[in-house]
Every structure is written in structure tokens, then in C-alpha cells.
Amino acid sequence: MTDRWRLGANLATLGNGLLGVGAVLYTLAGNKPWAMLLIVCAIGLDGLDGMLSRRSRLPPSRFGAIADSVADATSFGVAPAVMLAFHSFHVGAWSPYALLTTAVAAAFLVAAISRLIYFTTRVHDLPYFLGVPTPESALAVVVLLLFHDQPGYAGVQPIGVLIGGLIVTVMMVVPVPYPKIRRGAALRAPAAFTAALAAVALVPLQFHPAAGSLLALIAQTAAYGFLLGVAVYYLLGPFTVDRPAPDRG
């Protein structure tokens, strides 16, 4: 038995995974801006998947939870890890750090898959996340690369990417509560605004705007807003989580 909501959720999950595969392929082809845009779109489908699943009249599906985790692992684990490890531009700047970038990318991938397995099998029903969820971690990687790799708004700085990548990796597995962005969540509006700014920051890059042009200025300005939105989730997210008081009886 199925219904339209569950079918829509399954299609959104499939789309999420396919966008993750596309992000990997675009990275390997040397087009990170397209890969970043596909990851942002995958996050939108991941949110749509959850919304449609909650509207379904059917009980929660174990298969759906596992399929969602596989899609998330592809889009928010494998794809960002490949973007961290693979550099076809500014090769000279990245060459001395080849081993370190591979190590950071591998650590990110292991942390992402580990938290997805833990979330699916142990804490799926909690009203909050423990550690930063993988979609927001993938967004943080996109921000790191926008500013320190391609197009490098703050200059090409491998060390900045490596340190930032390690911080993002650790934050995925620390037992700090982070909110689920659902209706009524305190950060729902900022999260939606962040997603819009991410699109504004990334879409113009697909047209290779000339430095100093209006299109390039719009993309860069939106990128700073995108950075702020990701920082707000990381820094303020734990303070918006309502955790049940411990039973002292």
C-alpha cells in the first residue's frame, strides 16, 4: 500500500541521491560551482522528502529511512569529501597539501557516514539532531570552498580549507543538540533565507561572470550572506533546541 505523499517522498529521495552523484561527476570534471549548486539542490530535496513523509498516512518505513540515509551519504558525505580532496584549479597551491586534503576528506566521509548510521539506527525519533546534521555540514564545506578555493573570494588558502574541514568534521560527531528545521522551528526562516542566498551565490558562477561585473558582485555579496546563515546555524542552533528536563523523581 502506498499514497501520493509516500511516493513523492521516495522520488525526492531518489532525486537527492542522483544530484549527489552529479555533484561528484562535476567535481571530477573540474566544475566545482556546478557541484556546489547540485548539493544545495539536494538539500532542498532532502527537506521535501521529510515534509512529504510526515504527511503520509502510512507508518514510517524502515526502507525509506535507510534509502534516505544512502542518498544523504552520497550527496552530503561522498560529494563534499570529493570536493575537499580533488582540485583541478590552483594546482600549484594545493599540491603541497595533497596528502592532508585526502586525509581531511576521508575523515569527513567517515564522520558523515557514521553519524547517518547512528541517526538511522539509534536516534531517528529524537526531535533534534546530535551533532551538526550532514546537510548543514555539506553547506559548510561549500562555503569553505567558495571563499578559499573556487572562486576564492578570500583568496586560495588550502590551510583555511583544511582547518575548516576538520572543524566541520568534528562538529558532526560531537553530542551537541542541533535543531531539525521544521515548521515552527526558531531557525526555519533564517534557514530558508540561507538557502535562497546560496542559490543566488552559486547560479551566477555558472555563467563565469567577469571580475568586477554586476553579476560577479551579486554572487559575492550573496556568498557573504550565505556564510552568515551557515554560521548562525552552527553558533545559535544548540540554543534553540528544547530538550526535556531530566527526570529527578
CATH number (domain holding residue 21):
1.20.120
CA 88 from centre of chain: 22
Q: Does residue 245 fall inside a structural domain?
A: no
Q: Does residue 247 fall inside a structural domain?
A: no
* Inter-axis angle of helices 62-73 and 134-148, nearest 10: 10
Containing structural domain, residue 116: 4-240
Q: What is the pLDDT at residue 59?
A: 62
Q: Does residue 246 fall inside a structural domain?
A: no
Q: Does residue 248 fall inside a structural domain?
A: no
Closest CA to 79 of 24, 135, 139: 24
Q: What is the pLDDT at residue 243?
A: 66
Burial call 35-64: b when 16+ CB within 10 Å, e when fewer? bbbbbbbbbbbbbbbbebbeebeeeebeeb
Q: Is the pTM of this model over 0.85?
A: yes
pLDDT along the chain (249 residues), means of 10: 70 92 96 95 88 70 74 95 94 94 97 87 78 95 95 94 97 92 86 92 92 93 96 94 58
Q: What is the pLDDT at residue 247?
A: 42
Count structural domains, the chain: 1
